[in-house]
Structure 1
Amino acid sequence: MNSFAKITAQGSYVPEQIMDNHDFENIVDTSDEWIQQRTGIVERRITKEDEYTSDISYKAVLDLQEKYQVDLSDVDMIVNATLTADYKTPSVASYVQAKLELENAGAIDINAACAGFTYGLNIANGLITSGQNKKVLVIGAETLSKITDYKDRGTCILFGDGAGAFLVEYSEDETSFVASDAGSDGKKGHNLYCSELSEAMFDEALENPGFIVQNGRGVYKWAVGNVPRIIEQTLNKANYTKEDLDWFVPHSANARMIESICDKSGIARDKALKSLEYYGNTSSATIPLAIDLAVKENKIKKGDLVLLVGFGGGLAYASTLIKWTL
């Protein structure tokens, strides 16, 4: 008997509070025009002081459940991708499991930063096709506002909060997953980190403990130099070309970065789905949020070939080539 993994539902949640570019003009030396020109971001959503990653993860799942009227009572695994967990332990996934009252579900968090959601999907595919699980919730959720230094002009304008969720189920006759790839360039990890440690982990002393620290130029250079190769490797595994793609969903870090990646890869810019314009960089949530927006706008159709590529802190990356089955 064949064992395939199929995406059967998707949902999202973003906080109500909006922080637009003009708000930053009163905080740091910047302007709406400067931010839009360099990043493509107009606004981002910010969680309340008492609203945490487990809360928005749960709400994304409720949105999924309501939109597709799916039964979640037999979910047997929750994979939650995040770098902003409520606590070091228990996991965010465990809190979601409790809120959903799923007594028979396993629960794990994974931290691959902006690549987390694509890693999560690949893990779900492996769990299901191996026969270990039959119904997996994959969530990408971040409350980055809680680890953003709003005095640091280079980072504070970028980040927002949000969550997206997919339901992946066992199927005997249809799969969503075509090919995948993953890797990391850990030697360049110092270009993007957040630490509460007092000692140095990398070759240089840690800066601004407790907040995101990013070398924007370093990350940009790495992404534009490596993501086109990742795209080609993933497509080659399934004997597809970039011309076969209906949609390309990169991590929504920066609009200018995405344009450069598309140009270097030979992918039309209008095939790139993004979530950054009104949500900012939400790390592991950018890809599911971009897909959610495209579904709402009736862009993605059943049978479309869609390439997801997450990349970021690590510097880690993961890609997933899928056939859209909704």
Structure 2
Amino acid sequence: MTIRAVATGIGHYLPERVVPNAEFEKTLDTSDEWIRTRSGIERRHFAAEGETTSQMAVRAARKALEMAELTPADIDCVIVATSTPDLTFPSVATMVQEGLGMERGFGYDVQAVCAGFIFALANANGMILSGQAERVLVIGAETFSRIMDWTDRSTCVLFGDGAGALVLEARTGSGSSDDRGILSVDLNSDGRYREMLYVDGGVSTTGEAGKLRMQGNPLFRQAVGKLTETADRALEKAKLTSDDVDWIVPHQANIRIIQGTAKKMGLPMEKVIVTVQDHGNTSAASIPLALSVGVSDGRITPGQLLVAEAIGGGLAWGSVVLRW
């Protein structure tokens, strides 16, 4: 028998404030049509004043635990993917532990920007396969609205806030691709591309958080190819092909990137979970948000094969193949 990290619960949280594209027309030389045409985004959510990444993560985590029919005391490990922590330290994960009332286990953060949730899933999978943890709470949570340059129309209209959480539990499988759970992982990074997406501040440089900077066109050209390659490699590791895929659950950065990746993989858009129009780019939160929406509306059902893939600053990119 083979140990698999199986998803048993999913949940998400979005701040109450919904910001339509039209709101940016008041302060920027932009329009709803311009934003929709170039990104596919129609609206996004912004955290309220005083609402933090850890608070959103806790709300998403509670929903995931409820679906898994578990309590916080059942969780061995909390892994939070975020680039917008409440504080420089301690980790958001430890704040989630406190928020959930956990008095056992351990937690830590993973920082791989928009690819963070993929890297967090890989960490959680390793914890379970090694026997270090039996149940892991994996969360992607971001308040990117706090690092926007509101004068830069090329970036500030793209991002939103939110959180998504997934419970992974150790279960036994046959060792075949028919097993439920994570079947393969592919991770990559290349620091030579740092200037394409970064924040111009930090603890050891400016002493301030800084603002997000992005080279949109070069990043787009890198994204489609790298996302297709990582998804194909992950499928090959699982001894599967794109013909076996029921759903792509991609990082929700830009509808053109999503469409381009699906086309290169030979899959129709009808097999892609798309939420970018409602959430914008929520960085590490985007995949668990999309996954939670797909499960809650009944599209994603047990036994289906999913490919989740993302690329973010670093550049860092990767994919996970899992059977729901």
Q: 1:76 and 2:76 equivalent?
A: yes
SS in 1 for 2:104: coil
Q: 1:247 and 2:254 equivalent?
A: no
CA distance 1:215–1:274, change in 2 (3 Å): same
TM-score (norm 2): 0.94
Q: How far did 1:209 drift?
A: 6.8
Match of 2:290 in 1: 290
**In the aligned structure 2, how far is the partner of 1:138 from the partner of 1:197?**
25
Q: Which amino acid aligns with 2:164?
A: G
- Tell me the percent identity: 40
Match of 1:25 in 2: 25
Q: 1:80-123 deviations in whole A, cap 9, x for unaligned?
A: 00000001101100100111121112010010011111111111
Q: 1:264-285 deviations in whole A, cap 9, x for unaligned?
A: 2212112111221111000001
Query: Does the CA contact (< 8 Å) of 2:13 and 2:163 recur in 1?
Result: yes
What are the ranges of 5 or more consecutive residues in structure 1 without an aligned counterpart? 201-205
Q: How far did 1:198 drift?
A: 9.6
- 1:152-301, aligned counterparts within 5 Å? 152-173=152-173, 175-197=180-202, 210-301=210-301
Match of 2:176 in 1: none
Q: 1:58-91 deviations in whole A, cap 9, x for unaligned?
A: 0101122334432331211100000000011011
Match of 1:54 in 2: 54
What are the ranges of 5 or more consecutive residues in structure 2 without an aligned counterpart? 174-178
Q: 1:16-63 deviations in whole A, cap 9, x for unaligned?
A: 001110000001101111111111000000001100100000010112
CA distance 1:30–1:59, change in 2 (3 Å): same
Query: Does the CA contact (< 8 Å) of 1:118 and 1:310 recur in 2?
Result: yes
TM-score (norm 1): 0.94
Match of 1:44 in 2: 44
SS in 1 for 2:154: helix
**In the aligned structure 1, how far is the partner of 2:38 from the partner of 2:7?**
35
Q: How far did 1:199 drift?
A: 9.0
CA distance 1:16–1:123, change in 2 (3 Å): same
Query: Does the CA contact (< 8 Å) of 1:275 and 1:287 recur in 2?
Result: no
CA distance 1:65–1:197, change in 2 (3 Å): closer
**In the aligned structure 2, how far is the partner of 1:198 from the partner of 1:233?**
36
**In the aligned structure 1, how far is the partner of 2:203 from the partner of 2:62?**
39
Query: Does the CA contact (< 8 Å) of 1:7 and 1:176 recur in 2?
Result: yes
Q: 1:119 and 2:124 equivalent?
A: no
Query: Does the CA contact (< 8 Å) of 2:254 and 2:276 recur in 1?
Result: yes
CA distance 1:209–1:13, change in 2 (3 Å): closer
Q: How far did 1:197 drift?
A: 4.5
Of 294-303 and 167-176, the range deviating more from structure 2: 167-176
SS in 2 for 1:155: coil
**In the aligned structure 2, how far is the partner of 1:67 from the partner of 1:198?**
38
Q: Which amino acid aligns with 1:45?
A: H
- 1:306-325, aligned counterparts within 5 Å? 306-324=306-324
Paired residues in the alignment total 318
Query: Does the CA contact (< 8 Å) of 1:274 and 1:287 recur in 2?
Result: no
CA distance 1:141–1:169, change in 2 (3 Å): same
